[in-house]
Amino acid sequence: MPFYDYRCEDCGHEFEEQRPVAARDEAECPGCRGRRVRRLVRAVARLSGAGGGPSGGASCSPVGRSGFG
Three-point CA angle 3, 47, 23, nearest 5°: 15
38 within 8 A of 15, measured Cβ to Cβ: no
Give the span between the Cα atoms of 6 and 50, in whole angstroms: 30
The 10s digit of each residue's pLDDT in 8-25 is 999 999 999 999 999 999
Give the span between the Cα atoms of 38 and 7, in whole angstroms: 5
The 10s digit of each residue's pLDDT in 33-60 is 999 999 999 777 677 665 555 555 555 5
> Does 30 or 61 have the greater pLDDT score?
30
**Taking the domains of the chain in order of start, what are their residue ranges?**
3-40
Burial class (CB within 10 angstroms; exposed 0-12, middle 13-18, buried 19+) of 28: middle
Model pTM?
0.60
